[in-house]
Amino acid sequence: MKMKIFLLLLLFSAAAIGSDIDQAMVKIYTNSAAGNYYVPWTTDAPMESSGSGCVIDGNMILTNAHVVSNATYLQVRKEGDPRQYQAYVAAISHGADLALITVMEESFFQGITPLQLGELPNAREQVTVYGYPMGGDALSTTQGVISRIESSRYAHSGLSLLTVQIDAAINPGNSGGPAVIGSRIIGVAMQTMNQADNIGYVIPVPVIRHFLDDIADGSYDGFPSAGFSYQTIRNEAFSERFGIEQEQTGVMVTKIAFGSPAAEVLESGDVITEIDGKQIAGDGTVEIRSGSRTRLDYMVNRRQIGETIPLQIIRNGVPLRVEITLNTTLEELTVVPDKIYDMSPEYFIFGGAVFMPLTLNYLESWGRDWYLNAVDYLSHPFLFDNWRTESREEIVVLTFMLPAEVNAGYESLQNEIIESVDGALVTSFSQFVELVENGTGPYLEMTTNLGNIIVLNREQALVANSEIMAVYGIPEDRYLYIE
């Protein structure tokens, strides 16, 4: 009899917890339009999509950034209510693939108990994922276990951040829904591995807290980057050569981004043996909890912008202790930025020549397999050598020509990197525009990475610009980000 009562209490408790979670669930309806990176003065066709979210403290709905990216109009529907309410993005982190959205109509939140964040779970714990996957309109749940915890690449941003892998099904529409243990959020459903079955990833609580702490002052700073590359150490002779006492310990600095925090402290050839109090193994990993390891990058991106991080290094055989002040993001240190969202593409037209900075968005105009289809000299910097140098902050591309009399003879030129303007080396897109507009000679002369020389009559190009834009239906000759 007592056992029956106990089981009934357990069932009642589980039902109560499930009910509390259900009432905090939200389905998100997104209308979006992304910039067209081949014809940059236009946008792609509008799209409709849906995702999931849950109500947390402060009348906020926690979801994925990719659910609301490039949104032109948002609506939400709470569980059990047929009405759709207009919603707005309150804060967004494309790096963490997280967003907070809200509804101005306060009645929306009446009767909802916000869900609370839990902690980083342990492997093999049971987890439940809530959301609104495709195939129906009702709330759906799937269950599974925590498979592993380590840093992985976020598909939305390209950053390598802490993730929790689960075997519960995550389907289109589940994105943004909470993964729950007990009654607390342990993560937000993010992505799946398409090449395997039942491998899903959720954004864990430490990353969620990083986002919430970051925006607490009203602005979003992002995840810091130290700005260096390294090679792993797994060879005894290598360790002996560089004065490393223990084989397979530490990593060697190979490249440093110009202007990065690392540039003020580290040198190529330094061996980093410890970061933020954690010993680095020769494979580049650190222990984050007993029996669990992940890449050393985690020790950097778990920090906030402006914080310092201590390192133990070996330089020329001499052990040293140094500190790096993490005051830049990865986007500020790379030549080719990762995906850009919620912004129109930058471009500049002069004499019918269309110029853009090289971005991952532009590379993706070659399609899903852009890394195979794009010309090598455009894909190589992003894939293999993306740190800024003293002479190059951005890569400027002549994307194509709008054929006109003023640019006759250059119609076939496309996808070439502009190396110089009137003899001056091109270092960034804004500087390139200044070089073109501030030239005083009768001719504008540009050289490309393929050795082509483009000469335009400056006065004729200026006069022709408005006529060319009228012919091709282009409203403005430029869209530039204000620095």
> Is the pLDDT reported for residue 454 higher than 50?
yes
- Of the residues 331, 363, 393, which one is the last residue of a structural domain? 331
Q: Would you call 52 a catalytic residue per the annotation?
A: no
Q: Which residues contact 183 (CB under 8 A, 6 or more apart)?
A: 17, 20, 21, 115, 116
Can you tell me the distance from the alpha carbon of 339 to that of 458, in angstroms, rounded to the nearest whole number? 34
CB count in 10 Å sphere of residue 443 = 13
- How high is the pLDDT of residue 6? 40
Question: Could you tell me if 104 and 143 are in contact, meaning their C-beta atoms sit under 8 angstroms apart?
Answer: no
- How high is the pLDDT of residue 13? 43
User: How confident is residue 106, by pLDDT bands cut at 50, 70 and 90?
Assistant: confident
- How high is the pLDDT of residue 451? 96
Residues 303 and 408 both lie in one domain? no
- How high is the pLDDT of residue 379? 97
Residue 9 forms part of a structural domain: no
Can you tell me the distance from the alpha carbon of 33 to that of 42, in angstroms, rounded to the nearest whole number? 10
- Of the residues 307, 331, 355, which one is the last residue of a structural domain? 331
> Is the pLDDT reported for residue 366 higher than 80?
yes
Q: Would you call 97 a catalytic residue per the annotation?
A: yes
Residues 317 and 391 both lie in one domain? no
- How high is the pLDDT of residue 169? 80
Place of tokens 């020790």: 299
- Of the residues 275, 306, 331, which one is the last residue of a structural domain? 331
Tokens of 458: 């400056």
Residue 293 forms part of a structural domain: yes
Residues 359 and 325 both lie in one domain? no
Residues 239 and 362 both lie in one domain? no
- How high is the pLDDT of residue 173? 87
CATH of the domain at 470: 3.20.190.20
SS3 sequence of 332-399: HCECCCCCCCCCCCCEEEECCEEEEECCHHHHHHHCCCHHHHCCHHHHHHHHHCCECECCECCCEEEE
Residues 182 and 146 both lie in one domain? yes
- β-partners of residue 401 are 353
Residue 59 forms part of a structural domain: no
Residues 365 and 475 both lie in one domain? yes
- How high is the pLDDT of residue 17? 52
Place of tokens 């309410």: 85
**Total-model pTM:** 0.91
Residue 407 forms part of a structural domain: yes
Higher-confidence residue: 5 or 354? Answer: 354
Question: Could you tell me if 257 and 388 are in contact, meaning their C-beta atoms sit under 8 angstroms apart?
Answer: yes
Residues 190 and 298 both lie in one domain? no
User: Catalytic pick from 32, 66, 151, 152?
Assistant: 66
User: How confident is residue 72, by pLDDT bands cut at 50, 70 and 90?
Assistant: very high
Which pairing describes strands 184-192 and 116-117: parallel, antiparallel, or unpaired? parallel
User: Catalytic pick from 175, 260, 379, 430?
Assistant: 175
Tokens of 172: 């289109």
User: How confident is residue 9, by pLDDT bands cut at 50, 70 and 90?
Assistant: very low
Residues 310 and 353 both lie in one domain? no
- How high is the pLDDT of residue 80? 87
pLDDT (average), residues 294-302: 95
Residues 136 and 191 both lie in one domain? yes
Q: Which residues contact 201 (CB under 8 A, 6 or more apart)?
A: 152, 163, 164, 165, 166, 170, 190, 191, 192, 193
Can you tell me the distance from the alpha carbon of 10 to that of 16, in angstroms, rounded to the nearest whole number? 10
User: How confident is residue 15, by pLDDT bands cut at 50, 70 and 90?
Assistant: very low
Question: How big is the chain by its Cα radius of gyration, in Å?
Answer: 26
pLDDT (average), residues 439-448: 95
> Is the pLDDT reported for residue 363 higher than 50?
yes
pLDDT (average), residues 295-311: 96
Residue 414 forms part of a structural domain: yes
The number of distinct structural domains making up the chain is 3
Q: Would you call 157 a catalytic residue per the annotation?
A: no
CA 193 to chain centre: 18
CATH of the domain at 154: 2.40.10.10
pLDDT (average), residues 334-344: 95
Place of tokens 């850009």: 340
- How high is the pLDDT of residue 483? 61
**Mean pLDDT of all residues in the chain?**
92
Residue 87 forms part of a structural domain: no
Question: Could you tell me if 398 and 354 are in contact, meaning their C-beta atoms sit under 8 angstroms apart?
Answer: yes
Percent of the chain with pLDDT over 70: 94
pLDDT (average), residues 8-21: 51
pLDDT (average), residues 448-465: 96
User: Catalytic pick from 32, 97, 260, 270?
Assistant: 97
Residue 154 forms part of a structural domain: yes
What element of type H or E holds 91? strand 85-93
Residues 474 and 353 both lie in one domain? yes
CA nearest neighbour of 420 among 454, 384, 373, 388: 454
Question: Could you tell me if 105 and 85 are in contact, meaning their C-beta atoms sit under 8 angstroms apart?
Answer: yes
User: How confident is residue 134, by pLDDT bands cut at 50, 70 and 90?
Assistant: confident
Under DSSP, the state recorded for 112 is -
> Is the pLDDT reported for residue 333 higher than 70?
yes
Range of the domain at 467: 347-479
pLDDT (average), residues 454-462: 96
Residues 468 and 354 both lie in one domain? yes
> Is the pLDDT reported for residue 440 higher than 50?
yes
pLDDT (average), residues 297-305: 96
- How high is the pLDDT of residue 149? 93
- How high is the pLDDT of residue 161? 96
CATH of the domain at 257: 2.30.42.10
Place of tokens 């109500």: 55
Residues 240 and 199 both lie in one domain? no
Ranges assigned E (strand) in 121-197: 126-131, 140-153, 160-166, 178-181, 184-192
> What are 386-429's pLDDT values in tens digits?
999 999 999 999 999 999 999 999 999 999 999 999 999 999 99
Residue 55 forms part of a structural domain: no
What element of type H or E holds 68? helix 65-68
Tokens of 27: 């389905």
Which pairing describes strands 308-315 and 443-448: parallel, antiparallel, or unpaired? unpaired
pLDDT (average), residues 421-440: 96
